[in-house]
């Protein structure tokens, strides 16, 4: 797996000055070293060799909820849920969501993060001082969200660097 820090530093846990600078500048966080280490261990397994073609982008943690962004390459684009279970077990998170970052399209990211709730559309609202993005999900899907609505709004805002709100469809077609 392609990672932004040196492989030797991640495996050993002792960071070189270049990797330490990336952590201290806020580009990456200390816990991400552990996430990268788990991925490097997983890619050695025979049924997960496709991970070697993937690229680690970033990880976010919110109240026991871990979101890992990867750029998946190769023929395998589906992510087994057992990778999420392994990450949760080894790193002590309650929920882990692994997302294919791809192009960084907000609708694509939201549909992966909010699954099993279904994303219908993303509306752009132009306010006097900011541009806000509303992710519209199916009516009645608020109860199917993997975490609280407020937490998922914070995660989507952090991932996309845009202010995001999640709301239900209001009208029938």
One domain for residues 134 and 51: no
Q: Across the chain, what does the average pLDDT equal?
A: 89
**CA 96, 60, 146: angle at the middle one, nearest 5?**
40
Summarize pLDDT for 78-128 with one digit per residue, the tens. 566 778 898 999 999 999 999 988 877 899 999 999 999 999 999 999 999
* Position 136 pLDDT exceeds 70: yes
Question: Domain range for residue 37?
Answer: 1-102
One domain for residues 67 and 136: no
One domain for residues 108 and 80: no
The residue that leads in pLDDT, 74 or 146, is 146
One domain for residues 40 and 84: yes
One domain for residues 143 and 63: no
Q: Which residues make Cβ contacts (< 8 Å) with residue 96, sequence separation at least 6?
A: 65, 66, 67, 68, 84, 85, 87, 88
Give the whole-angstrom CA distance, residue 51 versus residue 1. 6
* Position 173 pLDDT exceeds 80: no
- Please tell me the total count of domains within the chain: 2
């Amino acid at each position: 797996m392609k990672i932004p820090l040196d492989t030797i530093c991640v495996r050993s846990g002792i960071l070189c000055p270049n990797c330490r600078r990336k952590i201290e500048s806020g580009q990456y966080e200390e816990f991400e070293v552990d996430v990268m280490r788990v991925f490097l261990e997983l890619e050695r397994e025979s049924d997960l060799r496709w991970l070697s073609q993937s690229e680690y982008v970033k990880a976010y943690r919110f109240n026991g909820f871990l979101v890992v962004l990867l750029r998946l390459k190769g023929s395998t684009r589906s992510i087994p849920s057992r990778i999420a279970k392994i990450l949760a077990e080894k790193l002590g998170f309650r929920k882990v969501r692994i997302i294919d970052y791809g192009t960084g399209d907000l609708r694509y990211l939201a549909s992966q993060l909010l699954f099993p709730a279904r994303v219908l559309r993303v509306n752009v609202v132009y306010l006097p001082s900011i541009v806000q993005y509303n992710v519209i999900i199916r009516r009645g899907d608020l109860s199917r969200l993997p975490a609280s609505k407020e937490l998922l709004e914070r995660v989507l805002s952090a991932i996309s660097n845009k202010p995001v709100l999640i709301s239900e469809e209001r009208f029938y077609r």
